[in-house]
Homo-oligomer: A and B are copies of this chain.
Amino acid sequence: MDADPPRLYAPPPGFTRLRLTVAWDGRDYAGWQEQRNAVSVQETLQTALHALGGEGALRPVSAGRTDAGVHAEAMPLHWDVPTTFRVPLVQLPRALNAWLPASVSVLSAEVAPAGFHARFSCTERRYVYRLWVAPQRHPLWAGRALHVPGPLDAEAMNRAAQSLIGLHDFAAFATREDRQTVRDLLRLEVQPQGELWDIHVAGESFLRHMVRGLVGTLLLVGQGKLGAAEVEGILASRERARAGANVPPGGLYFAGAEYGVRRVEGRSGNGGEPGTHRGR
């Protein structure tokens, strides 16, 4: 497999680029990105760093910009802090966590590798969408998994998923997307474990609301409202109205990201197992 030469990124002069991994409970946030009149994860992190003397730091940049209500189990980000910032790296996660609310936590911190950019260097993003498949809702999964009362056909869902994996134009599954709509879907797989079902989704990057549109469409297949074969037609149509509705954000988790060799556009088919996926 050929590879593009990776583009190199650098912090502005006078700054050190850190790489952090952060997790949060999406129920408390209006998403990653700072915005007026709503609490974002980005702003919450900034406030904690200021409390530690990091007022001069730039805004942190994450691998993915998640929506309100979406959770993160392990989100990589980079953060350019003034070279004068004094908190030792080995103490930084604990120091930040002492200031952060219970709903967000820094899992690790290190100096970023040379040329690193949390968003532009990212070669794979992994999500999990969680379903609670049972007649009644479960309070320990409220806001954390979508309750699906009826039975679901996991095999049919996985058959439909197979036809979506690979390099395709995913316009039929995106919402209000201005960019070009071709993406390389590396993994889309339904894994039932009793009443809790994990839908694993991986790709280099995703269109706006694409993961939630894909899951909403698989749900229709699982409920027998859509044939697995019809999903190919929906993909080919590029018409958003034909695919399933976006499932709500509470079941969605940003599960992890990779920073490996950037894949060449034009490769098609399933890239195989995209590494280790966290089961929760």
Contacts and interface: CB of A to CB of B under 8 A. Distances in A.
A104 B139 contact: yes
A142 B280 contact: no
B143 A102 contact: yes
Given A196-B280, A280-B196, A23 B107 contact: no
Contacts of A140: 23, 25, 71, 73, 144
A103 B278 CA distance: 26
A131 interface: no
Contact of A23 (B25, B139, B278): B139
Nearest to A93: B136
Interface in A182-196: 193-194, 196
A67 to B, nearest CB: 17
26 contacts: A23-B139, A25-B139, A25-B142, A73-B140, A93-B135, A93-B136, A94-B135, A97-B136, A97-B137, A102-B137, A102-B139, A102-B142, A102-B143, A103-B139, A103-B142, A104-B139, A105-B137, A105-B138, A105-B139, A106-B136, A107-B134, A107-B135, A107-B138, A108-B135, A140-B144, A193-B279
